[in-house]
Amino acid sequence: MSRTHSYFVTGIGTDIGKTVVAAILTEVLHADYWKPVQAGGLDQSDTLKVQSLISNPHSQFHPEAYRLSQPQSPHAAASLDGISIQLDSFHLPDTQRPLIVEGAGGLLVPLNTQSLMVDLISHLGLPVILVSKNYLGSINHTLLSIEALQNRNISLEGIIFNGLPTPATESIILDYTGVDCLGRITEEPEVTPAMIKKYANQWDQRFLFPNPP
């Protein structure tokens, strides 16, 4: 099973832009998409959102390992549904295509009383793309997220910044950590397939990804 150009997309918190980044990466790579845990919003899940934004005919969308009814932390949502999330129940989908995996919330979101989202990343063994949104306090949240990955020897491919450009914020993060900036998303009036395609066309060259089949 080929895992070339497969990534786990995580963020420095909630509502950071992970799903938009995951959609762009899915489009640029003609990759498959998988959201291991969906907590709440089952009729408007991130899988359905990404699927609605993708233009290429190749990407496949794999079912979640856990579909939880309440929009809460996975451990709490699972408890309300009368189940317990088990780390060893997660397995990468069987696909020959590149794969984009999207996490829920940030790195230290609990899946159960012993395991965090970062433990799932370690379990799956994919390199991480970290999404950082520019807001007051994002430097601290971004550096803490990078430190959490480094402390666990998880490969960090790079950062994607989301929101209005903030050079002072971005430069201190990149200079302090030495992590690569893979791309930027500015504020957009609407997230549409055309918007996703626009960034996919830009990132195709920026990432030097091979042309998808």
Q: Is the pLDDT of residue 209 over 70?
A: no
Q: Is the pLDDT of residue 213 over 60?
A: no
Options 3.40.50.300, 3.30.920.30, 3.40.630.10, 3.40.50.970; CATH for 7-206 is 3.40.50.300
CA distance 73 to 78: 8
Please tell me which residue, 157 or 204, carries the higher pLDDT value.
157
| Mean model confidence pLDDT for the chain | 93
At residue 71, the pLDDT reads 95
CA distance 140 to 30: 34
Of 113, 98, 88, 97, give the one whose Cα is nearest residue 36: 88
Residue that the structure tokens 């609407």 belong to: 190
Residues noted as catalytic? 35
Query: C-alpha angle 157/160/161, rounded to 5°?
Result: 150
In this prediction, what percent of the chain has a pLDDT beyond 70?
A: 94
Q: Hey, how many other C-beta atoms are within 10 angstroms of the C-beta on 13?
A: 20
The length of the chain is 213
At residue 4, the pLDDT reads 66
CA distance 69 to 86: 17
| pLDDT tens digit sequence for 27-57 | 999 999 999 999 999 999 999 999 999 999 9
